[in-house]
Amino acid sequence: MRCVRCGEKAVALAAGRTAYCRQHYLEWFEEKVSRTIKKLGMFGTRDRILVAVSGGKDSLVLWHVLNRLGYSADGVFVHLKIPEYSDKSFEVTKRFAEKEGLRLLVVESSSPVRILARKSRRKTCSACGIVKRHELNRLAHEQGYSVLATGHNLDDETAVLLANVMKWDSQALARQSPVLPGSGKLVKRVKPLCFLTEKHSAQYALLAGIDYVQEECPFSRNASTTFYKKMLNALEQRFPGTKKNVYKRFLEFRKNIPQEEMVLKDCRECGYPTTGDICSFCRIVRGSLQPRC
């Protein structure tokens, strides 16, 4: 196969099975991210962006691309003390930041997330999500960032969408968006990779020489979204373009979903927005995380 732009030997496939050489695939990927940011009004060059990095391909690729596109983007790693996995992920992230000359902020947990989950009688993934969402937002707010960017890709978004549809969770469907506006102590959240697949990120990382953790979190193996991703991959193989079409149609449909106004108040313990008197984070953690910037 030949690159559609220059005619040289192709090394990677993009959307629609379009073939590119190394240079033009990297350019295509970065152009796709840039168009998504501008089309959805995610942020501008004057914004201070904090990227949630985990050591995985999507978050490291996103961090790399945003800085190549000229945005001011720092990274933050939440260390949840998952045996072996967290230390390895942190080392990979730290090496990447040093190699790229980027600023990395770190939040460490004094208790493993598995213990926090057990004490709060929650599933590990649920406790992990609560801790990460709270700490990422808190640190972004306290450090003066205007935008918090995550590496959620098209596979992630369609898997969550399918899960919400299966449960017909109207509130979750109304909240699912690649752009969640900020307000008060809630920092704006965006997903610049929402129209790119996991495979696209993996190809970019390989061609750009980005080292990343290839192992999945040990607690995610039995997660429902993992099962939904397998289902969607089977559909994608049989009907190419399924994920992109479903997600784009959902975003159009979402505009017509009634947006219930959520009444938020300050948590009595941490002071960050919550629907109750004490937020979920404070109920399960009680101050066990400490920032190290």
Amino acid at 53: V
Pairing between strand 19-20 and 12-13? antiparallel
- What is the rounded radius of gyration, in angstroms, for the C-alpha atoms of the chain? 19
Cβ neighbourhood burial of 254 (10 Å; 0-12, 13-18, 19+): middle
Closest CA to 279 of 271, 291, 289, 290: 271
Quote the pLDDT of residue 286: 67
Task: Name the residue ranges covered by the structural domains of the chain.
Answer: 29-285
Residue 67: its H or E element:
helix 57-68
**Superfamily (CATH H level) for 29-285:** HUPs (3.40.50.620)
Tens-digit pLDDT string for the chain (293 aa): 999 999 999 999 998 889 999 999 999 999 999 999 999 999 999 999 999 999 999 999 999 999 999 999 999 999 999 999 999 999 999 999 999 999 999 998 878 888 888 888 888 888 899 999 999 999 999 999 999 999 999 999 999 999 999 988 888 888 899 999 998 999 999 999 999 999 999 999 999 999 999 998 988 877 888 899 999 999 999 999 999 999 999 999 888 877 777 788 999 999 999 988 999 999 887 644 544 44
∠ CA 81-83-84 to the nearest 5 degrees? 105
